[in-house]
Amino acid sequence: MNTTAWWNISGREAVPDNKKEKEAMKIKILSPAFGVLLWILLASAFTFCGNSTDHSREEEPEYFNNPILEEGADPYVYFHSDGYYYCMVTRGDRLKIWKSKSFTDLAGAESSEIWFPPDSGSNSCCIWAPEIHFFDDTWYVYYSATDAQHPDDLHRHVHVLRNNTGDPFEDSWEDLGMIRTKYPGIDGHVFEYRGTRYFAYSPYIGNQSGIMLARMTSPTTIEQETNLGLPVYDWEKTPPRAILEGPQFLEGPGDKVFIIYSAGACWDDNYGLGMFYTDKEADLLYPDSWERSTRQVFEQCPDSSVFGPGHNCFTTSPDLSEDWIVYHAKKFSSNECSGRSMRAQRFTWDENGMPVFGKPFSIETPIPEPSGLTE
């Protein structure tokens, strides 16, 4: 198996060399006094929920505010070797890509609607949770869909598109059909680790959804499906369903790797992130290799008007010096999935090599831009 062309899932192969102008909402420090004032405001914004992330810079930074996209459920960001971030979110009835030198600057970024579903068939309805990837000199998009004639969970599957033109904005996407999984399911995630390609997804098993992991034998086929776990804790169970979804792979700086997942339901304010973790030397397809967090590792912060944070992905700053989590959240408490916006913030690691996501920031909080953005 040729794996040399596989992408680095955290974007550690690319270093871009310039940056777009920021929109008016983004604040540039113009004087030391104003800089001090902003840092005071930033610190005070963390009073309720707190955050230990160190955002210090040698130079005065620029800032942005969440949200990045007002309509931004299930965000995914891919950092390509051309120095651009390619981003996708759920649009429901189409697939759209944004392209930008900064993943925090998408509102005015170049974008293209690359695909619309057919009138009938297994991918004719409910187009959710797309991911864009580039490997073997080919662009792929993995997305969840169902049949418009049977828009229920038993007919949801992950589907694949392919574009071999070299430019994902070219109108040359080929429908490769669905990935044949053991169970119907959603939220397909593709990653490579130590020369092996993996596919994770959220299967529907009875009235529950869990996390499955499999080895990929091609961009559209898998083998050796393994069930990492079903909902166990109260915070993973939202009536009438108990749900784990949105799996994302994360490699730590130490001796551990992680599968971060979303738990609960998108309509629940308590929707948040859980975590599986194991040693880097472990067999990822052996279920007993994995341990599991007993508490949420990223959760709502009502004092900052952040509800239901989850369905995340991971990326890096342009200079590769910072790790960032990209996620969706709601700014109002509700029993609905609507109102989910795309957001991002930096995260760090503790002395044991575990990720420290902190608390989600208020949309009123100015956040230092990712390191390495250049004029």
Helices (DSSP H) in the chain: which residue ranges? 32-45
The answer to whether 250 touches 355, Cβ cutoff 8 Å, is: yes
DSSP helix/strand/coil, 58: coil
User: Count of CB atoms within 10 A of residue 185's CB?
Assistant: 23
**Which of 74, 105, 236, 322 is an active site residue?**
74
Distance between CA atoms of 150 and 83, rounded to whole angstroms? Answer: 41
Q: What is the CA radius of gyration of the chain?
A: 20
**Tokens representing 72?**
């931004």
User: Count of CB atoms within 10 A of residue 77's CB?
Assistant: 26
- Lookup result for tokens 């899932």: 9
Helices and strands, counts by H and E, the chain? 1, 24
CB within 8 A of 246, min separation 6: which ones?
Answer: 74, 129, 187, 189, 202, 261, 262, 310, 311, 312
- Lookup result for tokens 């009835």: 93
Give the closest residue to 371 by CA, choosing from 9, 7, 13, 104: 104
User: How long is the chain?
Assistant: 375
The answer to whether 312 touches 324, Cβ cutoff 8 Å, is: no
245 included as an active-site residue? yes
158 forms bridges with which residues in the sheet?
A: 144
**Which of 187, 192, 245, 323 is an active site residue?**
245
Distance between CA atoms of 131 and 87, rounded to whole angstroms? Answer: 8
105 included as an active-site residue? no
Give the closest residue to 303 by CA, choosing from 41, 65, 45: 45
Which residues does the annotation mark as catalytic?
Answer: 74, 245
